[in-house]
Amino acid sequence: MTGQAAALPYWRLSGFYFFYFAFVGAMAPFWGLYLRSLEFNAFQIGVLMSLLQVMRIFAPNIWGHIADQTGKRVAIVQLAALVCMVAFVGVFWATSFWPLFAVMSLISFFWSASLPLVEATTLSHLGKNTDRYGRIRLWGSVGFILVVVGLGAALDHASIKLVPWVVLGLLVGIVLTSRIIPEAEVARQEVVHIPMRDVLRRPEVLALFGAALLMAAAHGPYYTFFTIHLVETGYSKSFAGWLWALGVVCEIGVFLLMPKVFARVRAETVLLFTLIIAAIRFVLIGWQADNLPVLLFAQLMHAFTFGAYHAAALSLVHRYFTGKNQARGQAYYNSIAFGVGGTIGSLYSGAAWDSLGPATTFSIGAAFALLAAGVFVRRGKVSA
């Protein structure tokens, strides 16, 4: 790290991303298995998993509004992380549906506050050097890989009851790293503040948010049932962990390459490409899970469907939402994409899994990805 990048609080920001996505690395692949061990059916699992997304519909906007008004982004992250950790202790007693529903709702409300505010803080520290974002964010991928591989291997020999203890430990890490993130000065280079409603009405913003919502919905079967799908197909939990890790390793490579890609290709073009790749990927996972070479190829596509997609989408959000709109812009993006879209994805996959089967459920996800590409082409400005 040299020049301006050297002045960044690089390791302090990277540490938070490490533990935040390590938490995701425990929850996304293995929480569904833990819920299955409590004898919940597929629809109940879909509902409970959707709570991590439902709260992102409105909670980030509440936190984002408070952050924009007070300028205390990091203080809010610290408070939310602490409450989330304390609330999580309730899962050790809440093992039936409605008590667990209540506890997970509380956890999700505060957990959803963190990432949009940390993203906005990171981009503020970066200033005009947003192409360096991937070098910080990749540590989140490292955290995800270590947990998904380590926990997957452990679960081949240990009880599934280990999962909540690991998650609690990772929440402690989130609390501790949130304490060392420095606040960033919010750039207010605009001569005239642009009202948020005017930004939200722009065709390119509507196209981005519409495509993001559908892309998140497309991932519903993957994030809710992928590990269950692999285990039921005959793979071990440790191998399932390695497959998750394979995708994220590729994602790290993409984060490192994105500055060079964006120097030659517009973010809009990258985004459209990733939507089409997502449709192909989910068809392969749904129909060819027992074909290991094809399954491995599908996981390699994660480099595009998450890494390249996320970098392109975040770049566009940062471009469209500036000055005083920055934190709320990140919050709106998270709410619409991961909140509304993620909730739709969890619910339809939960409803379809037992009745229609994995192949059809993943095909529905592929259809959502193709629809996202159509929306983006129709309303967005796509050119190389």
pLDDT value at position 2?
42
CA-closest candidate to residue 177, choices 21, 2, 350, 3? 21
pTM reported for the whole predicted model? 0.82
pLDDT value at position 328?
76
With tokens 């039921």, the residue in question is 232
CA-closest candidate to residue 177, choices 224, 143, 146, 151? 143
For residues 321, 79, 132, 143, the Cα torsion angle rounded to the nearest 10 degrees is -130
Amino acid type, 111: W
Task: Give all domains of the chain, ordered by start, each with its CATH number.
Answer: 8-379 (1.20.1250.20)
pLDDT value at position 384?
43
pLDDT value at position 9?
83
C-beta of residue 343 within 8 angstroms of C-beta of residue 50: yes
pLDDT value at position 233?
96
pLDDT value at position 76?
93
CA-closest candidate to residue 251, choices 166, 347, 139? 139
C-beta of residue 209 within 8 angstroms of C-beta of residue 219: no
Residue 41 has which token pair?
């059916």
CA distance 78 to 207: 33
**Residue 72 burial class via C-beta count within 10 angstroms: exposed 0-12, middle 13-18, buried 19 and up:** middle
pLDDT value at position 66?
84
pLDDT value at position 234?
96
C-beta of residue 108 within 8 angstroms of C-beta of residue 51: yes
CA distance 28 to 326: 28
CA distance 50 to 60: 16
CA distance 148 to 22: 8
Going from the C-alpha of 275 to that of each of 113, 294, 368, the distances in angstroms are 27, 19, 9
pLDDT, the chain, mean: 89
Amino acid type, 342: G
pLDDT value at position 380?
61
Taking only the tens of pLDDT, the chain with its 384 residues reads: 444 444 568 888 999 999 999 999 999 999 999 999 999 999 999 999 999 888 888 887 788 778 877 878 899 999 999 999 999 999 999 999 999 999 999 999 998 888 878 887 887 888 777 667 778 888 998 999 999 999 999 999 999 999 999 999 999 999 999 999 988 766 555 445 678 888 888 999 999 999 999 999 999 999 999 999 999 999 999 999 999 999 989 888 887 888 889 889 999 999 999 999 999 999 999 999 999 999 999 999 999 999 899 889 988 998 888 877 776 787 788 889 988 999 999 999 999 999 999 999 999 999 999 999 999 998 765 544
Q: Which residues contact 374 (CB under 8 A, 6 or more apart)?
A: none
